[in-house]
Structure 1
Amino acid sequence: MQKPLIQQACDWLAGQQKAMVDCLEALVNIDSNSYDKAGTDAVADLIAQWLEQDGITVIRHPRPDSGDILEAHLGEIGQGHALLMGHRDTVFPTGTVASRGYTQQDNLGFGPGVADMKSGLVMNCFVLRALSRLPHCPLPVRALFTADEEIGSPDGRAFIEAAAQGARAALNVEPGRVSGNVVTGRKGGAGFLINVAGKAAHAGVSHADGASAIETLARKITKLHALTDYDTGITTNVGTITGGVSRNTVAPSASAQLDIRFVTTAQRDLLYQAIQSIIAETEILGTKVTIEQTSEFYPLEERMSRALFKIYQSQANAIGFAVDGECTGGCSDAGWTASLGIPTLCGLGPVGAKMHTDEEYCLLDTLIPRTQALTTTLLALSELPAVTTTKLAY
């Protein structure tokens, strides 16, 4: 008697530990900063090679100014497919690999982007490879490997939203939490650049003739920070300020970078309105303030992950590990799919910690079970009816 599909997939994956670690080492040893097109494209080359060797359909969307978008298909993509997501870029500057490439110590793998999210990319590749080996894949799967998530997905967002149309679920392999949990909720966030133009004057001789851009900015920072509300999860933070020309000159210019975080899209809308009102207020006559949005992520609201998490949790328990869901203040591409009304789950990758630092690591013994859990979740989803998704108005 032929084994059930879930058992067949898990059995094949159980023997792939060395292969997965070898793939992880290969990816980590490629510099792939968000602005390094050659590097992110080199990562795409390897992924495409691995998938095509197993007969998996790979489509490459060339991009002129950022890393190419890589897409993989299993089955006929249409209404009711599952979307796997992962990003190839890291925050580390080109040249990092030369000074500290992949290393391994017992169960820990180290290196730039080893957890965020080279291990997740390996995981998605092996999920696709496991499904491709089955007598038939009962669920169409679309996998997207983008190249600019660490800078807000300015190019990748459109491809994510297009690939998500008609999906029954979106699963993002950002690193699992250090607790072993997956991510069932993420804050949304945005970045802004605030510029203030004032009027210079000698601070001792003609102080009254000037209009201080720094003073205007300082007053606005106080008001912007007052929008923080820990009880509701809203935070605002001016993280950098610059301005002025000398100690004894009334500042003719100043600028600041503002970061905001929010839990729901409703909070986002109100927060944007409040910020615009603060910017529009006149602090000092003779100064002019402008604001430019530089980045944005939508939130993954917990209501969008609840049902999908129950399926994943059940599959993880069957494989042999306990998992819970948790929320985080960090943003990810999961917010784009959740904002379309698509059930979305994040943090499904191998467990890692200390992301974006020189001490970043991945727990190598989580590669197999987390890949098995994601694979079996996809197979479990195939038994559910496809749900038509409609883009929500945000």
Structure 2
Amino acid sequence: MPTNAETEITEWLASQKDAMVTLLREVVDIDSGSYDKAGVDVVGTRFEKHFADHGISAWREQHDTFGDAIHALVAKPGSNEKPILLMGHRDTVFPKGEVARRPFSIEGNRAHGPGVADMKAGLVMNVFVAAAFQRFGSAPCPIKLLITSDEEIASPSSRPVIEREGRAARAVYNSEPGRPSGNVVTGRKGGVFMRFEVFGKAAHSGTSFFDGVSAIGEMAHKIVRIHALTNADKGITLNVGLVAGGQSVNTTAPHAEGQIDLRYVDPADRAATLAAIEDIIATPTVSGTSAKLHINGEFLPLVQSEGSKHIYDGYRAAAKDVGLPNVAGEFTGGCADSGFTAAVGAPTICAVGPVGGNAHTPQEYLDLDSFVPRAQALALAILRTRVEAAG
């Protein structure tokens, strides 16, 4: 039988669907690409207003380049327990002006718009769950919220904040979108994002061809060797997804560059694969060329610990109790901030947000019918959470 607190909170959340959609519309209709600090911070201001309206303490951790980190706390008076952390990012992959081209819209039971599922709906869900606990005073322990600003570019400013909050948390729920299947995510690949430059020598390709050294020619050799490091059996993939270079069609290319995406499952494979890439970059095939490798950013893999499995089991049971009987855990090649909290020892579950799909595309959608039950499932899981972070 549900407790009084469970009934109060789940019934109140059921009454808030229209308010959730209204807030979602407001934050989706604000451009907030990762490099658009002003836009990202405006989204943060709207969430701060929600916290203020519901009597929840909130504050900013400022950053000069990227959006500020937004913190909030639903306190449990007299408690010195570790908090549960609800986490999510408010930046998107879309450029400024995307909202004007395709603002928030609803067709049937689906909402559309830039970042609607990835992951502004998860943030809306988090702040309404927090409001429910603040309203009824039934939090089993303090509940912290963290709204970050740059996940889509590997969290260059947010990673140290996430790791610090993860170390202090007893459990972490990251509200990335639920899978189209309705599942949550219990494992993710790690990712390293790199840029390499190749240097050659310019020469007129008609009159002085043999005086030149082609950086593009050398880059082609390196791309083939980098791609050959892919190991499907181990879940290691390499992709050179961007290339540029050259001066003109009738000049041997003095410079070229490419960008590399490395994904891996086993943390031990990161070092070995990175060492192989470094060797490829350092070893020329075309005489007279040289090259440099730069790491732009990276995510750590989400590896399920015993503590993480425990909160996953609790979430799954809570989901069943609110009418979602088929929620399971999935592994995905996509990366997320949940890998950072898992790596510092916090029991972590990811993709507990409302269900959506086609992230990073104009076809991105959110299943509006999943808003309330996913919020209820998260609230029940929190009410029943009794997990200490691993030491």
- For Structure 1 versus Structure 2, the TM-score category normalised by the shorter chain is over 0.9
Give distance in 2, aligned partners of 1:209 and 1:163: 57
* Contact 1:33–1:90 under 8 Å retained in 2: yes
Does residue 1:306 correspond to 2:312, yes or no?
no
Does residue 1:366 correspond to 2:365, yes or no?
no
Match of 2:177 among 154, 175, 178: 175
Tell me the secondary structure at the aligned position of residue 193 of structure 1.
strand
The C-alpha deviation readout for 1:117-161, integer Å capped at 9, x for no partner, is: 111111000110111122432211111001111111111111111
Give distance in 1, aligned partners of 2:337 and 2:241: 23
Match of 2:330 among 313, 326, 334: 326
Give distance in 2, aligned partners of 1:50 and 1:262: 39
Q: Which amino acid aligns with 2:358?
A: K
* Contact 2:282–2:290 under 8 Å retained in 1: no
Give distance in 2, aligned partners of 1:166 and 1:93: 35
The corresponding residue for 1:33 is 33
Deviates more, 1:359-368 or 1:271-280: 271-280
* Contact 1:148–1:154 under 8 Å retained in 2: yes
Give distance in 2, aligned partners of 1:60 and 1:19: 24
Alignment of 1:345-384 (within 5 A): 345-381=349-385, 384=386
Tell me the secondary structure at the aligned position of residue 202 of structure 1.
coil
Give distance in 2, aligned partners of 1:159 and 1:327: 25
State the Cα distance separating 1:229 from its structure 2 match: 0.8
* Contact 2:358–2:364 under 8 Å retained in 1: yes
Give distance in 2, aligned partners of 1:106 and 1:348: 23
Deviates more, 1:296-305 or 1:350-359: 296-305
Give distance in 1, aligned partners of 2:5 and 2:345: 29
The corresponding residue for 1:52 is 52
Give distance in 1, aligned partners of 2:280 and 2:98: 41
The corresponding residue for 1:272 is 274
Deviates more, 1:212-221 or 1:117-126: 212-221
In structure 1, runs of 5+ residues without a counterpart are: 390-394
* Contact 1:79–1:388 under 8 Å retained in 2: no
The C-alpha deviation readout for 1:330-373, integer Å capped at 9, x for no partner, is: 11111111111221111111001111111211110100000011
Deviates more, 1:122-131 or 1:158-167: 158-167
Give distance in 1, aligned partners of 2:4 and 2:221: 65
Tell me the secondary structure at the aligned position of residue 146 of structure 2.
strand
Give distance in 2, aligned partners of 1:265 and 1:385: 25
| Cα distance change of structure 1 residues 128 and 326 upon mapping to structure 2, 3 Å threshold | same
Deviates more, 1:91-100 or 1:334-343: 91-100
State the Cα distance separating 1:87 from its structure 2 match: 0.6
Deviates more, 1:350-359 or 1:295-304: 295-304
Q: Which amino acid aligns with 1:73?
A: L
State the Cα distance separating 1:79 from its structure 2 match: 5.1
Give distance in 2, aligned partners of 1:180 and 1:215: 47
The corresponding residue for 1:72 is 72
State the Cα distance separating 1:78 from its structure 2 match: 5.7
* Contact 1:85–1:172 under 8 Å retained in 2: yes
Tell me the secondary structure at the aligned position of residue 104 of structure 1.
strand
Tell me the secondary structure at the aligned position of residue 351 of structure 2.
coil
* Contact 1:59–1:72 under 8 Å retained in 2: yes
Aligned residues: 386
Does residue 1:86 correspond to 2:81, yes or no?
no
* Contact 1:79–1:386 under 8 Å retained in 2: no
| Cα distance change of structure 1 residues 157 and 385 upon mapping to structure 2, 3 Å threshold | closer
Tell me the secondary structure at the aligned position of residue 180 of structure 1.
coil
Tell me the secondary structure at the aligned position of residue 133 of structure 1.
helix
Alignment of 1:129-278 (within 5 A): 129-278=131-280
The corresponding residue for 2:320 is 317
Give distance in 2, aligned partners of 1:221 and 1:9: 54
* Contact 2:347–2:390 under 8 Å retained in 1: no
Tell me the secondary structure at the aligned position of residue 86 of structure 2.
strand
Which consecutive segments of 4 or more residues in structure 1 shift more than 3 A? Answer: 76-79, 202-208, 302-305
The corresponding residue for 1:392 is none
Tell me the secondary structure at the aligned position of residue 350 of structure 1.
strand
Give distance in 1, aligned partners of 2:95 and 2:284: 41
Tell me the secondary structure at the aligned position of residue 184 of structure 1.
strand
The corresponding residue for 1:111 is 113
Residue identity over aligned pairs, in percent, reads 46
Tell me the secondary structure at the aligned position of residue 123 of structure 1.
helix
Tell me the secondary structure at the aligned position of residue 260 of structure 2.
strand
Deviates more, 1:195-204 or 1:148-157: 195-204
Give distance in 1, aligned partners of 2:358 and 2:173: 22
* Superposition CA RMSD, Å: 1.7
Tell me the secondary structure at the aligned position of residue 351 of structure 1.
strand
Tell me the secondary structure at the aligned position of residue 375 of structure 1.
helix
Give distance in 1, aligned partners of 2:357 and 2:246: 40
Give distance in 1, aligned partners of 2:387 and 2:229: 43
Give distance in 2, aligned partners of 1:78 and 1:296: 34
* Contact 1:32–1:88 under 8 Å retained in 2: yes
Match of 2:127 among 99, 104, 125: 125
TM-score, scaled to structure 1: 0.94
